[in-house]
């Protein structure tokens, strides 16, 4: 049987309407290099979304390949309770340095959702250990996405992923978040003072003594359509949560490692959260690995003799996998040796310039960008900013059209976005944006 036949017979793909696969079976990829995916039938497709936002330095990046090969031959995996190894220790030092060693404690997990679960559990467990167990609520903002496991879904806002499971989720609190394209106050994200903050301010003030933590995606609400908001919102959120004794969890899983033009998106606001979750780009997109960074204060609340039973007993079999940690160390080496952030800003600006050539199209509501992310939101009416009818699946049709033209542009509803590996060249940017624009015109007229 061919790969495609075996796939069709056995595989249940993630985040997919499997019914769509009748018309469009999964495409078998045989190898990949840089921004290109090479298919079994000889075609190649430009990966404009970094394979779900994980790849940062191109597919099969030589440096990371080498680090993985070397590590695999020396030590692949070892139980991470009572044992350690150089790649994990070195990586923890790199991660801690991201916040000037002010979040010096690193707990590893193996995917983004698992890191979110760890941060939520640590936050609540801290409350138990410090005698405030009634602080057990978690607050998230509208538009939030933090993963698919039940704890992570409980602090997510997107009905598409959450609605069916509501009855089995934790009791959490949704607060109004920023919604800059459709700003209810009619303000502009580049000039405003996050006046919309009053919504969450009220929720936090009213329920402070019951809240353990607020979780937020800094600067970029990726899964909600690459929504970008002002750093002022984050600054205000940090100030208020600190005043009220509420933990701030920054989910840098999508936005971290240069994606928004700074090493961590939180750096745009110059704030120090209580917990930071990282994953995706951490290993350059090679292997699943995540980490939660936290402070000495949090850590100390768990540090006690056995008899006090205060420890964090969470574990995953693959915690601190040596090969994944070696890949992540290679990622830090690449960041350390070249001015990646400057390149990101340059290429990001170029992508934006190319995208802007379709700004006047009647279906283009907004083009927004930050660092190496540019999104085009398509609407039914530019004036009223009314969304397109969901069942028309306009974004999906554009995705399919672009794929047939050689670009993987996986839509989020009717948002078409570019989030390619940082190594994309000028010519590749031109090809990617030309195909996207041609596809939008082909479907939207
Ligand atoms: N948080 C954010 C902000 C994400 O974008 C994602 C994944 N798209 C996750 C958490 C979950 O990560 P994972 O898919 O590795 O579980």
pLDDT at 383: 96
pLDDT at 345: 96
What number does the ligand 1 atom closest to the CA of 53 have? 8
Q: Is 223 in the pocket of ligand 1 (CB under 6 A)?
A: yes
Q: Is the pTM of this model over 0.85?
A: yes
Sign of torsion over alpha carbons 400, 405, 411, 414: negative
H runs (alpha helix) in 98-230: 112-129, 150-154, 159-162, 198-207
Percent of the chain with pLDDT over 70: 100
Strands, E assignment, 223-363: 227-228, 247-251, 275-278, 290-294
| Cα-to-centroid distance, 412 and ligand 1 (Å) | 14
Q: How many CA atoms lie within 13 A of 225 on its CB side?
A: 23
Residue 36: beta bridge partners?
A: 33, 46
Q: State the distance between the two ends of the chain, measured CA to CA, in whole angstroms.
A: 41
Q: Is 227 in the pocket of ligand 1 (CB under 6 A)?
A: no
- Collapse the DSSP code of 137 into the 3-class scheme (helix H, G, I; strand E, B; otherwise coil) and give the result: strand
Report the distance separating Cα 425 and Cα 67, nearest Å.
24
Report the distance separating Cα 421 and Cα 437, nearest Å.
20
Q: Which helix (H) or strand (E) holds 221?
A: strand 220-221
| Cα-to-centroid distance, 330 and ligand 1 (Å) | 22
pLDDT at 136: 98
Mutate to test the pocket of ligand 1, among 53, 144, 253, 289 (most ligand atoms within 8 A of CB): 253
pLDDT at 64: 98
Report the distance separating Cα 366 and Cα 356, nearest Å.
10
pLDDT at 22: 96
Q: Which helix (H) or strand (E) holds 443?
A: helix 426-444
Query: Is 287:330 a contact under the CB 8 Å cutoff?
Result: no
Number of residues in the chain = 445
Look at strands 275-278 and 247-251 and give their pairing: parallel
Low-confidence spans in the chain with pLDDT less than 50: none
Report the distance separating Cα 113 and Cα 171, nearest Å.
18
């Amino acid at each position: 049987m061919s790969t495609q036949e075996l796939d069709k017979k056995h595989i249940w793909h993630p985040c997919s309407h499997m019914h769509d696969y009748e018309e469009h079976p999964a495409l078998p990829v045989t190898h990949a290099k840089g921004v290109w995916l090479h298919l079994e039938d000889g075609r190649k497709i430009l990966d404009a979304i970094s394979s779900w936002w994980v790849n940062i330095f191109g597919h099969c990046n030589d440096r990371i390949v080498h680090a993985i090969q070397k590590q695999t031959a020396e030590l692949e995996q070892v139980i991470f309770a009572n044992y350690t190894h150089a790649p994990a220790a070195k990586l923890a030092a790199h991660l801690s340095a991201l916040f000037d060693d002010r979040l010096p404690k690193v707990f590893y997990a193996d995917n983004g959702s698992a890191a979110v679960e760890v941060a939520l559990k640590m936050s609540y467990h801290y409350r138990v250990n410090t005698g405030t167990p009634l602080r057990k609520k978690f607050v998230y903002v509208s538009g939030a996405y933090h993963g698919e496991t039940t704890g992570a879904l409980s602090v997510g806002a997107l009905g598409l992923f959450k609605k069916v499971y509501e009855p089995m989720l934790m009791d959490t609190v949704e607060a109004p978040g920023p919604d800059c394209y459709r700003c209810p106050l009619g303000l502009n994200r580049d000039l405003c003072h996050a006046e919309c903050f009053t919504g969450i301010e009220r929720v936090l003030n009213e329920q402070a003594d019951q809240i353990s933590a607020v979780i937020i995606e800094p600067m970029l609400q990726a899964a909600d359509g690459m929504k970008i908001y002002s750093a002022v919102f984050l600054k205000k959120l940090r100030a208020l949560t600190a005043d009220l004794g509420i933990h701030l969890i920054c989910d840098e899983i999508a936005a971290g490692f240069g994606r928004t033009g700074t090493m961590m998106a939180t750096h745009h606001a110059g704030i120090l959260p209580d917990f930071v979750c990282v994953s995706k780009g951490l290993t350059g997109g090679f292997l699943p690995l995540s980490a939660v960074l936290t402070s000495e204060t949090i850590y100390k609340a768990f540090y006690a003799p056995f008899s006090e039973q205060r420890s964090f007993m969470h574990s995953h079999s693959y915690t601190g996998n040596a090969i994944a940690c070696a890949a992540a160390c290679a990622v830090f080496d690449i960041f350390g040796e070249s001015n990646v952030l400057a390149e990101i800003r340059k290429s990001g600006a170029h992508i934006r310039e190319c995208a802007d050539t379709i700004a006047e199209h009647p279906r283009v509501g907004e083009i927004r960008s930050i660092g190496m992310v540019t999104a085009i939101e398509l609407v039914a009416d530019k004036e009223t900013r009314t969304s397109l009818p969901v069942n028309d699946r306009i974004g999906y049709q554009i995705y399919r059209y672009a794929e047939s033209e050689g670009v993987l542009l996986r839509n989020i509803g009717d948002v078409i976005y570019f989030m390619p590996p940082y190594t994309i060249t000028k010519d590749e940017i031109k090809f990617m944006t030309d195909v996207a624009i041609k596809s939008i015109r082909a479907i939207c007229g």
